[in-house]
Structure 1
Amino acid sequence: MRGQNWTIKDEIRDYWSARAETFDLSPGHEIFGDDERGAWHTLIEKHLGPGSGRKALDLASGTGVISRLLCERGYSVTGLDFSEPMLERARAKAKARSLDARYVMGDAESTLLPDEAYDVMMTRHLVWTLPNPAAAFADWFRVLKPGGKILIVDADMTARNLRSLLLRRAAAFFKRFGPPAATHGVDRERHNRILSKVHFSDGARAEDIASLLRDAGFRDIVIDRDFAPIRRAQGRHMPLHQRIDRASQDRYAIQASKPVQQTARPAGEARRAA
């Protein structure tokens, strides 16, 4: 039985650990074609630039999908995750492909990594799971070198406008007649229970994430919603209703920079980020 010390983070870690074995089977997790790989490379180059041996941190690295993309663009990568089964798979894949990547266990909200250790950082589908994103962003700001950049890839899956509502209804209609989307170990009840307890339980709006990043000290924040090439490439491996449903979601990348010259933040702002 779970004791009183069982936390939402324990729940999140165990949920993703249980999914590690089948994680790479799902479109949107692993990459299944050169068209999608090329689209991800373009996104990384656009916001982080070429690697040229610079140090990159892949936060919540999972099985190492983003780590591989960063390595392919010339970065020296450290992947951080707090699921040992995920880390085991990431290490095995990196070894098999001779990638310049190493993996460490850690909490993405409190990495315990050295100050100003990385030139760039990247996350994919992490922020929506964070119980305390303000604490996480403050820690990421600390770990990033002055002038360094972070790239957050995430999605708001809540239908907030007429277009999204209509697409979601269309997806539900076509789901009745088409083949089901493969779940690959998704425990929907457990997923929803976790979602109800995290900070962005009502949806991870890009503008809300940008505001928290600004509070943590990040500047030059850009929200990029040009995900059509990635969505089209992933859609080739999905049934129609799943493609329509994903089109109803607000998928985005957020780029932010740590200033080269830092100014002291007001005490109240520092407390909000703690």
Structure 2
Amino acid sequence: MHQLAAQANYNLKDEIKAYWSARAETFDEQPGHEIFSDAERAAWHALIRRHLGTGDGRKALDLASGTGVVSHLLDDLGFSVTGLDWAEPMLERAKAKAKARGRSIRFLMGDAESTMEPDESYDVITNRHLVWTLVNPAAAFREWHRVLKPGGRLLIVDGDFVNPGVIARLAGRLATLLGRFGISDKRPAHGPGSALADTHRSILSRVYFSEGARADAVAALLRDAGFSQVRVDTNMRAIHRAQRKNFSLLKGLERATQHRYAICAVK
């Protein structure tokens, strides 16, 4: 009976948390997660400045902060940063990285859909590759609206990882085929055919954006949550160009042709 009760209490959000906890060990080894060049760092800085400006000590909440990659970018620009993540292994690495780099970033454990942070306590909120995993994005967006100060800005960086374009589909299939013959670059532990890849597919099939987190759908939910001046920015070329140096040719092509975007919105 106890085992049945435990299984009933282990829901989709628990699976998502466990998945990212498992990914923590190799997260910073993967291009597209950690930053491996000054050019990519500069491209990210430019994107953040374009939508949020410089920090000047303003308070930033980086949701699903992982190992702290975006938190460090915000810190670079002068924001006073709090990173929030619910995967303890991610937080351990984020704290160790900040300590090693001498950064005074605060990292907390918490749920991005229910932050438990005070009303109107942050000037900006950021997240990268979080929205596609949300179980209830409408509730999450209302929560983020609550936590922002009036005039505060939200910056989402995400994409549709379900519906790649023709070029991306062909590149992905060819990369997988070559990988089976040991021709392509080393395949990551979460790559096609791995247990983590199976878990990823299972999770993706059950989240709200199971058919793909298209920018227009995300923007509509933000407006429903009370945000205004919702702007979609698909100009990610500088970031993708810098990342390409650390990808195989096919992986770089696949990434550059995916529907990836930034969305900025104002409270």
Q: Fold match, TM over 0.5?
A: yes
* 1:114-263 pair list within 5 angstroms: 114-159=118-163, 164-173=165-174, 175-177=176-178, 178-180=183-185, 182-185=187-190, 187-258=196-267
The alpha-carbon deviation at position 182 of structure 1 amounts to 3.1
* Distance in 2 between residues matched to 1:66 and 1:231, nearest whole Å: 16
Q: 1:266 maps to what in 2?
A: none
Unaligned stretches of 5+ residues in structure 1: 259-274
Q: 1:272 maps to what in 2?
A: none
Q: 1:263 maps to what in 2?
A: none
* Distance in 2 between residues matched to 1:159 and 1:13, nearest whole Å: 24
Describe the shift of the 1:150–1:172 C-alpha distance in structure 2 as closer, same or farther (beyond 3 A): same
CA contact (8 A) 2:162 2:211 kept: yes
Q: 1:17 maps to what in 2?
A: 21
* Distance in 2 between residues matched to 1:166 and 1:147, nearest whole Å: 40
CA contact (8 A) 2:71 2:81 kept: yes
Q: Name the aligned partner's letter for residue 115 of structure 1.
A: D
* Distance in 1 between residues matched to 2:25 and 2:216, nearest whole Å: 34
> What CA RMSD, in Å, does the superposition of the two structures yield over aligned residues?
1.4
Alignment coverage as a number of residue pairs: 255
Q: 1:102 maps to what in 2?
A: 106
Q: Name the aligned partner's letter for residue 107 of structure 1.
A: D
Per-residue displacement from partner, 1:203-254 (whole Å, max 9, x unpaired)? Answer: 0000000000000000001100000110011111011121122123101000
Identity %: 57
* Distance in 1 between residues matched to 2:137 and 2:255, nearest whole Å: 24
Describe the shift of the 1:175–1:44 C-alpha distance in structure 2 as closer, same or farther (beyond 3 A): same
Unaligned stretches of 5+ residues in structure 2: none
- Other structure's SS at 2:66 match: coil
Q: Name the aligned partner's letter for residue 188 of structure 2.
A: T
* Distance in 2 between residues matched to 1:74 and 1:153, nearest whole Å: 20
Q: Name the aligned partner's letter for residue 208 of structure 1.
A: A
Per-residue displacement from partner, 1:149-200 (whole Å, max 9, x unpaired)? Answer: 000000112336xxx2144224423554441453244511000010011000
